Amino acid sequence: MKIVIVGLGVIGGSFAMALKEAGYREVYGIDTNAQTLQKAREMGIIREGQTVGDRLLRDADLVILAIYPQLMRSFIQNHLQHLKPGCVITDATGIKGMFIEDILAMLPEEIDFVFGHPMAGREKKGIDFASHQVFKGANYLITPTKKNKEKNIELIEGLAYEMGFKKVRRITPSFHDEMIGFTSQLPHAIAVALINSDEEGRDTGSFIGDSYRELTRIANINEDLWSELFLGNKDNLLKAINNFELELDLIKKAIHDYDIETLKQYFRKSTKRREGLDS
Amino acid sequence: MKIVIVGLGVIGGSFAMALKEAGYREVYGIDTNAQTLQKAREMGIIREGQTVGDRLLRDADLVILAIYPQLMRSFIQNHLQHLKPGCVITDATGIKGMFIEDILAMLPEEIDFVFGHPMAGREKKGIDFASHQVFKGANYLITPTKKNKEKNIELIEGLAYEMGFKKVRRITPSFHDEMIGFTSQLPHAIAVALINSDEEGRDTGSFIGDSYRELTRIANINEDLWSELFLGNKDNLLKAINNFELELDLIKKAIHDYDIETLKQYFRKSTKRREGLDS
């Protein structure tokens, strides 16, 4: 199986590393940055790389798109004529609703796009931060469409397990985006708001423990990627933020009313939920 | 120097372990739970323990209070007559304003209370979760009062460094509580609100990555301790929550207005702040 990864950034690079580790030998890369391709070759995670890549795509049995959400539609449009009939495409995008229908409308019957989302990443961008270790034990989501062939969904599922993911789930694109708005985008919005709400000049670093460090780690954020993810999932994210603010307002009210029993009730609920999360 | 630790829970137990590691041999414990004392003796981190402890206090050169905030005043009141003239007391409480003045008013001149706050802990309670490792590299805050003798402040500072803390800072009690409202209590309120805002029955565990795991770790919370901390620092915490909500509303507005440039600006600000935190 010839695999072509499009975009050898932190996620595409991690895919290449994980595929190498899993024993795949025919892995190729397409990236607009020639230095990135050079690095990937030196790391031994791709056999060959191209900045244009039409030729590589023509031979690809599997194409993995690890590019920004906004580029998804145009990439398919521009490369439709280079894709091999019978090939399978998958992606790594954190939102689905904004392009799935458009892409399905563009693709001919003989090309099958299995949309996927590896729930692992790093805040830093670029191949230098790629690591297949982040995939180990992580969740992988697949959002099948009516056009998908079962064997192709199973191909991606199998690949995910081979790359070290622990749990692979199939869900609808709309439920995917609803959940991701809550579990991924909301935490990023919170982390950014938390650190931005600090007042200037307080030497905050001297007053922090693990909790502040942990809650703000993802405030170090790739602004291009995450602004696209936020805006591409606008309604779900706004709903998640609003639900979160309602809960925070409940806590605020309990503090304001000096209502210790209600506070403890919220804490017991959160403790139970957190303990249940990893079980 | 005879040291008596009052309360051998997760923090008091960690103190005992850290003191042992630092070479202190005369460490004693007071705890209402006889089993806890038994464990501490078996772990070799105290020489002797008592559930009442009047006798131990009479000989103590240093008393470390690792008890709940609400118990601080009553402990001093009930044990005033057992404290040795010339002894130094310190504590590990996460808020200061709620009891400092009252305690200073009770204490005679010859007993010096140096209020301190080791900024390290664990979500689990009890001696079984004690670990001096959490102190390594952490921050330690001291809130000197006018009554403190310089040599006694230096005693606690030195002890903090010996126990593995990296940075020891002196600040006023009121600034301490303001900062802690922001860096410690606000993150806990956020984590609790985040996980409590999840809708029931969505199998959320299948849809999470590291960000949600990290932002909710402290939602597993000791309800007795944290309800006291929240209510004991009411005004500072409410102010911190309000400032945070204002920032989150800015993000919400940018999403609502589809304003990608403003969103990126917030992300650049948060990234810069987060990178500056650990430098």
Q: What are B202-248's pLDDT values in tens digits?
A: 999 989 988 999 999 999 999 999 999 999 999 999 999 999 999 99
% helix, strand, coil for chain B, step of 5: 55, 10, 30
* B138, B220, B238 member nearest A274 (Cβ): B220
Going by C-beta distance under 8 Å and a sequence separation of 6 or more, which residues neighbour residue B138? A209, B118, B119, B120, B164, B165, B166
Same domain flag for A167 and A209: no
Q: Please report, for the domain that includes residue B204, its CATH number.
A: 1.10.3660.10
Task: Count CB-CB contacts under 10 A for residue A34.
Answer: 11
Contact of A126 with chain B, judged by CB distance below 8 Å, is answered with no
Same domain flag for B13 and B131: yes
**What pLDDT, on the 0 to 100 scale, is given for residue A279?**
56
- Residue A93: C-alpha distances to residues A249, B95, B171, B212 (Å): 33, 44, 47, 18
Chunked mean pLDDT (size 10), chain B, 279 residues: 96 96 96 96 96 92 96 95 96 94 95 95 81 91 96 98 95 96 97 97 90 95 94 97 98 98 98 87
Domain end among A118, A151, A171: A171
Q: What is the identity of the amino acid at A233?
A: N
Same domain flag for A160 and A186: no
**What pLDDT, on the 0 to 100 scale, is given for residue A55?**
92
Q: Which residues of A touch B183 (CB under 8 A)?
A: 204, 207-209, 211-212
Domain containing A40: what range?
3-171
pLDDT of B211-223, one tens digit each?
999 999 999 999 9
Same domain flag for A127 and A215: no
Say if residues B92 and B117 touch (Cβ distance below 8 Å): yes
The answer to whether the CB atoms of B211 and A188 lie below 8 A apart is yes
Same domain flag for B193 and B120: no
Domain end among A118, A150, A171: A171
Same domain flag for B24 and B153: yes
Structure letter (DSSP) for residue B198: S
* B141, B198, B246 member nearest A207 (Cβ): B141
Same domain flag for B9 and B79: yes
Domain end among A171, A200, A223: A171
**What pLDDT, on the 0 to 100 scale, is given for residue A93?**
94
Number of structural domains chain B divides into? 2
Same domain flag for A63 and A157: yes
Q: Please report, for the domain that includes residue A27, its CATH number.
A: 3.40.50.720
The rounded Cα B43 to chain-centroid distance in angstroms is 23
Same domain flag for A156 and A188: no
- Residue-level pLDDT, tens digit, chain A, 279 residues: 999 999 999 999 999 999 999 999 999 999 999 999 999 999 999 999 999 878 999 999 999 999 999 999 999 999 999 999 999 999 999 999 999 999 999 999 999 999 999 998 777 788 888 888 889 999 999 999 999 999 999 999 999 999 999 999 999 999 999 999 999 999 999 999 999 999 988 999 989 988 999 999 999 999 999 999 999 999 999 999 999 999 999 999 999 999 999 999 999 999 999 999 875
Same domain flag for B138 and B256: no
Same domain flag for B77 and B139: yes
Same domain flag for B202 and B133: no
Average pLDDT, chain B: 95
The answer to whether the CB atoms of A193 and B224 lie below 8 A apart is no
Q: Which residues of A touch B189 (CB under 8 A)?
A: 248, 251-252
